[in-house]
């Protein structure tokens, strides 16, 4: 790269990513092949519209790429219709709301503080400006309260029920949600759409290791860069033709202009990687590593949630007398990257929090083993107990551990 200033910064970030332990549950490392597609000349092409129905000429290969991404997404999630154009998960959610609802409609979702997402009705997001949000909660064990959800439906009469979360460590019973909604609709005669934002667990769904929300929801949204290991972006899925038409119009021309065809090509590559048996093996390892670290922290006496997926929460306030912000900062001194997170019933402000969210999708892509995950729990526990001095001392151990893993710029997930 001729631009030395930018090249040097990228080089430093590459070094940081290689040396450190990445435990942010929403991050992952795309393969060299995904990044090659992402950096391709497809970025130069305007292609507003959809395959075969573009507003620009010269889209013959662009159409091939987008059709390939659509077909692969459909195979991956066993679904009839896919839109691969959303620039992000937030854009996908915006498009889904618009496809299903009128402005001012009522949406029943989980509160951000209990593990929801900004676009699920946070006061600082567009979502709460356009729609009226009411929330369901968690029970005293911080699990979804299905009976409470059912009760809320009858109390609130929402137009849309939203499931799928950013910081929920347990399995989600989409089948039970569908049954609850069917019962409600039958009794009241009111139409209530079922939307699932599966951004966090999409890789687990793709690997067939949890219920597939596409079997139960009217519409499913996702990002492609978390457990799916693709480029940064979003997708929309449905089994209903009428809804697929509404979704397409809602993405373009309503919320977006020209699609990012280089990103769509990278999505196609990632979906192909995710369709391989090796992806199922990878995802099983993610779950195993997450549980191993979780169990180890529990055995050290930390107050942790348990886990059924790729992430768990630590109550650092009760375990170590630290806010989430302080714990995040301490761990970053040792090049362990996590994010502070609100936990159920949190009394701290969102900028402080009582919790940390820890996930193993990214570390596992580099070759983190179960033994490494247990060693990481031990590092985290020592640092949070010992403070800054211990954090500085442990940095070398962290670098030693990651030096045995694959380098991020060499990762390939497709067999030759
Ligand atoms: N910001 C993402 C996360 O960290 O979970 C959700 O979009």
Does this model's pTM top 0.95?
Answer: yes
- The predicted model gives 256-270 an average pLDDT of 98
The dihedral through the CA atoms of 407, 16, 399, 338 has a sign that is: negative
Q: How remote is the CA of residue 26 from the centroid of ligand 1, in Å? A: 6
**Distance between CA atoms of residues 320 and 301, nearest Å:** 10
End-to-end Cα spacing for the chain: 28
**Distance between CA atoms of residues 394 and 334, nearest Å:** 6
**Distance between CA atoms of residues 305 and 308, nearest Å:** 10
CB 73 within 8 A of CB 84: yes
Q: Strands 160-163, 106-110: parallel, antiparallel or unpaired by DSSP?
A: parallel
User: Given this model, what pLDDT does residue 111 score?
Assistant: 81
Q: How remote is the CA of residue 54 from the centroid of ligand 1, in Å? A: 32
pLDDT surpassing 90 at residue 309: yes
CB 48 within 8 A of CB 55: yes
φ, ψ (nearest 5 deg) of residue 111: -65, 145
- The predicted model gives 389-409 an average pLDDT of 98
Q: What would the two tokens of residue 63 be? A: 């159409």
Site to probe by mutation for ligand 1, drawn from 23, 90, 118, 166 as the one with most ligand atoms within 8 Å of Cβ, is 166
pLDDT surpassing 90 at residue 316: yes
Element holding 22 (H helix, E strand):
strand 21-22
> Please, which pLDDT band fits residue 187 given cuts at 50, 70 and 90?
very high
**Distance between CA atoms of residues 198 and 351, nearest Å:** 25
Q: Is 48 in the active site?
A: yes
Among 89, 64, 59, which Cα is nearest to 251's? 89
Q: Is 168 in the active site?
A: no
φ, ψ (nearest 5 deg) of residue 406: -70, 150
- Give the bridge partners for 82, in sequence order: 237
CB 217 within 8 A of CB 243: no
> Please, which pLDDT band fits residue 392 given cuts at 50, 70 and 90?
very high
**Distance between CA atoms of residues 266 and 113, nearest Å:** 33
- pLDDT > 90: percent of the chain: 97
**Distance between CA atoms of residues 126 and 96, nearest Å:** 13
φ, ψ (nearest 5 deg) of residue 340: -65, 150
- The predicted model gives 180-196 an average pLDDT of 98
User: Given this model, what pLDDT does residue 115 score?
Assistant: 85
CB 79 within 8 A of CB 206: no
Note the pLDDT tens digit of each residue in 34-54: 999 999 999 999 999 999 999
User: Given this model, what pLDDT does residue 113 score?
Assistant: 81
Note the pLDDT tens digit of each residue in 339-379: 999 999 999 999 999 999 999 999 999 999 999 999 999 99
What's the farthest any 2 CA atoms get from each other in the chain?
66
117 in contact with ligand 1, CB cutoff 6 A:
yes
2, 4, 22, 410 from 199: Cα distances, Å: 36, 35, 18, 25
Q: Is 308 in the active site?
A: no
**Going along 264-407, which residue ranges are E strands?**
311-315, 336-337, 339-341, 355-359
φ, ψ (nearest 5 deg) of residue 104: 90, -5
pLDDT surpassing 80 at residue 160: yes
φ, ψ (nearest 5 deg) of residue 193: -70, 155
pLDDT surpassing 80 at residue 67: yes
Closest atom of ligand 1 to 166 CA is: 5
> Please, which pLDDT band fits residue 416 given cuts at 50, 70 and 90?
confident
User: Given this model, what pLDDT does residue 69 score?
Assistant: 98
φ, ψ (nearest 5 deg) of residue 240: -105, 120
CB 232 within 8 A of CB 249: no
8, 43, 123, 264 from 39: Cα distances, Å: 18, 8, 36, 11
User: Given this model, what pLDDT does residue 374 score?
Assistant: 98
61, 155, 173, 236 from 195: Cα distances, Å: 33, 19, 14, 10
Selecting among 35, 232, 249, 370, the annotated active-site residue is: 232
Site to probe by mutation for ligand 1, drawn from 26, 228, 361 as the one with most ligand atoms within 8 Å of Cβ, is 26
Note the pLDDT tens digit of each residue in 75-128: 999 999 999 999 999 999 999 999 999 999 999 999 878 888 999 999 999 999
26 in contact with ligand 1, CB cutoff 6 A:
yes
| Vertex 41: Cα angle to 275 and 67 (nearest 5) | 40
The CA R_g of the chain, rounded to the nearest whole Å, is 21
89 in contact with ligand 1, CB cutoff 6 A:
yes
User: Given this model, what pLDDT does residue 145 score?
Assistant: 96
As a whole number, the mean pLDDT across the chain is 97
């Amino acid at each position: 790269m001729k631009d030395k200033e930018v090249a040097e910064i990228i080089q430093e970030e590459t070094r940081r990513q290689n040396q450190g332990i990445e435990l942010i549950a929403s991050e992952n490392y795309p393969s060299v092949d995904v990044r090659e597609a992402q950096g391709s000349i497809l970025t130069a092409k305007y292609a507003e519209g959809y395959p075969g129905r573009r507003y620009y000429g010269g889209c013959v290969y662009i159409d091939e790429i987008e059709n390939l991404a659509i077909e692969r997404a459909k195979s991956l999630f066993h679904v009839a219709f896919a839109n691969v154009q959303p620039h992000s998960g937030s854009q996908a959610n915006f498009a889904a709301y618009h496809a299903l609802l009128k402005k001012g409609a009522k949406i029943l979702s989980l509160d951000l503080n209990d593990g929801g997402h900004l676009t699920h009705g946070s006061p600082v997001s567009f979502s709460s400006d356009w729609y009226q949000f009411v929330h369901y909660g968690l029970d005293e064990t911080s699990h979804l309260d299905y009976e409470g959800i059912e009760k809320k439906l009858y109390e609130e009469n929402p137009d849309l029920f939203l499931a799928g979360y950013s910081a929920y460590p347990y399995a989600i019973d989409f089948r039970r949600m569908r049954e609850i909604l069917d019962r409600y609709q039958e009794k009241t005669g009111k139409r209530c759409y079922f939307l699932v934002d599966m951004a966090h667990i999409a890789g687990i769904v793709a690997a067939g290791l949890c219920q597939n929300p596409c079997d139960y929801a009217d519409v499913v949204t996702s990002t492609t860069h978390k457990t799916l290991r693709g480029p940064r972006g979003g997708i929309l899925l449905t089994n209903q033709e009428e809804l697929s038409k509404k979704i397409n119009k809602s993405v373009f021309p309503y919320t977006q202009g020209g699609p990012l065809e280089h990103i769509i090509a990278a999505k196609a590559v990632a979906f192909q990687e995710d369709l391989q048996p090796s992806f199922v093996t990878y995802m099983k390892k993610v779950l195993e590593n997450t549980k191993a670290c979780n169990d180890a922290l529990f055995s050290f006496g930390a107050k942790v949630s348990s886990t059924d997926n790729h992430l768990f929460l630590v109550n650092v306030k009760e375990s170590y007398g630290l806010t989430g912000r302080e714990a995040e900062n301490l761990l970053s001194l040792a090049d362990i990257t996590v994010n502070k997170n609100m936990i159920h019933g949190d009394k701290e402000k969102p900028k402080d929090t009582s919790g940390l969210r820890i996930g193993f999708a990214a570390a596992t892509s580099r070759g983190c083993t179960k033994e490494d995950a247990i060693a990481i729990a031990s590092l985290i526990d020592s640092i949070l107990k010992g403070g800054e001095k211990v954090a500085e001392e442990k940095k070398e151990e962290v670098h030693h551990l990651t030096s045995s893993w694959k380098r991020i710029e060499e990762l390939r997930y497709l067999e030759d």
